[in-house]
Amino acid sequence: MAIGKRILLFLLTNALIVVSISVVLNLLGVQPYLTAKGIDYQSLAAFCLVWGFGGAFISLALSRVMAKWMMKVKVIDPSSVVAEERWLLDAVSRFSNHAGLPKVPEVGVYESDDPNAFATGPTKARALVAVSTGLLRRMNRAEVEGVLAHEIAHVANGDMVTMTLIQGIVNAFVMFFARIVAWSLSQFVEEEHRGVVNFVAVLIFDIAFGLLGMMVVAAFSRHREYRADAGGADLAGKPKMVAALKSLQNAVQVEEDAPQSMAAFKISATKKRGFMALISTHPSLEKRIKKLQVA
């Protein structure tokens, strides 16, 4: 997708979120939370809940469409599928039926040297599973089936909705406490400067508390990855799931040993340390393989 179209889509999506949430706030009669007497905590709580959950759920509702646009996913048409893609559809269909999904997810392929895959969508009946061309080139069919089973497990576990709920809760708490602390600090300066101080402090504490919130969301995400690995092992068999993770691990090792010019091709599951490990959405492949093998 051209960069202009991506920017336009981003702006339109954010405009939709802002307009939708503003309408909801008006319909609920939520008043400004700052009054002459201080903070109206009831209005602030309503404001934060609507903004925190509203943005998260609108993004979830648009997730499948956004993924297709942003990643240039080519959805495989079952009625005109070529032989090379038929087994992908068959594998996803088989795993979906085994997992008890109400509808087989759409299956797509996107161009990327990254050996990767993802599942997204607002509900179990409206999901998308997509794999990269790099993954299809580097892995054999048994390993790819392990990856597909992992993604179907995400759908079956309802991880998209679960993570959206967690993100909404974290967003609401971050906004709530950032505004309370910011207002409290603004009371230590002269009245004519309080508006500016409060505005700047809200931005700073939104970022600071947001980083703490990222750690919470990331911790839940890592837990869901372990569950999806276990679910993938149940659907495709443990040997295929372990083989898929080892194949990804080998790809990471090759790229880490490659020249710096190859850094752009590193996958998201690359081992991280320190603070980066705390905000990583995926456990290290080493930990995932070990946990799966001893299960």
* CA Rg value for the chain: 22
Other C-beta atoms lying within 10 Å of the C-beta of residue 169: 17
Both structure tokens of 160: 């998209």
Could you give phi then psi for residue 33, rounded to 5 degrees? -80, -15
Pairing of strands 117-120, 128-132: antiparallel
Exposure b/e, 37-53, CB count within 10 A at least 16 = b: eeebeebbebbbbbbbb
Orientation of helix 194-236 relative to helix 285-294, angle to 10°: 40
Catalytic residues: 151
Angle, helices 83-99/141-156, rounded to nearest 10 degrees = 40
Distance, in Å, from the CA atom of 20 to the CA atom of 56, rounded to the nearest integer, reads 12
The residue length of the chain stands at 295
Distance CA 236, CA 292 (A): 13
Structure tokens at 283: 């456990």
